[in-house]
Amino acid sequence: MSPVRGRSGPRSEPDRGRPLEVCYIDWHVTPFRADRWYEIWSAGAARAMAFGAKGWSLTRSIDDPLLFRQSSVWENRADFDRYWYSDEVASIREQAVNYYAKPLNPSWHELVAGE
C-alpha cells in the first residue's frame, strides 16, 4: 500500500504496472583481502546489466570496511536468476570464493519510491 502507486507514472514502476524489485547481497569479505575481492567481483556485479537489470551498485561500509553491499534493480526475479546462475557469473564467483564469508543470502525489496 505505497503512496507511489497512487500517482501516475512513477519512475520506479515499469510500464506494465508491476513494481520493480531490488536485490541486496551483503558480501562479508575476509580480512586483508577486500581489494583483491573487489578486483575480481566488480566485473561480476556489473554484468547484471547484460541480463536485464535496470541498475546496480556496489557499496562499501564506512563503519565496517569488510562489508560490501551489492544492489541491483530488476523487473522480475527470473532475470536475476539467469544472471546469478550464468556460467560467466558463476565463474567469477568461483574466482572470488576464498575472499568472502559464506553463505550469500540475497534479500529482496519492492521499490516503492525513487529515481
Q: Which has more pLDDT, 8 or 112?
A: 112
Rounded CA-CA distance 78/73 in Å is 12
List the beta strands (DSSP E) in 48-88. Answer: 55-60, 67-74
Domain map (residue ranges) of the chain:
20-108
Which stretches within the chain are classed as H helix? 34-46, 77-84, 87-96
CATH number for 20-108: choose from 3.30.70.100, 3.40.50.740, 3.90.1150.10, 3.10.20.30.
Answer: 3.30.70.100
Parallel/antiparallel/unpaired status of strands 21-28 and 55-60 = unpaired
Share of the chain above pLDDT 70, in %: 86
pLDDT digits (tens, 9 = 90+) for 36-69: 999 999 999 999 999 999 999 999 999 999 999 9
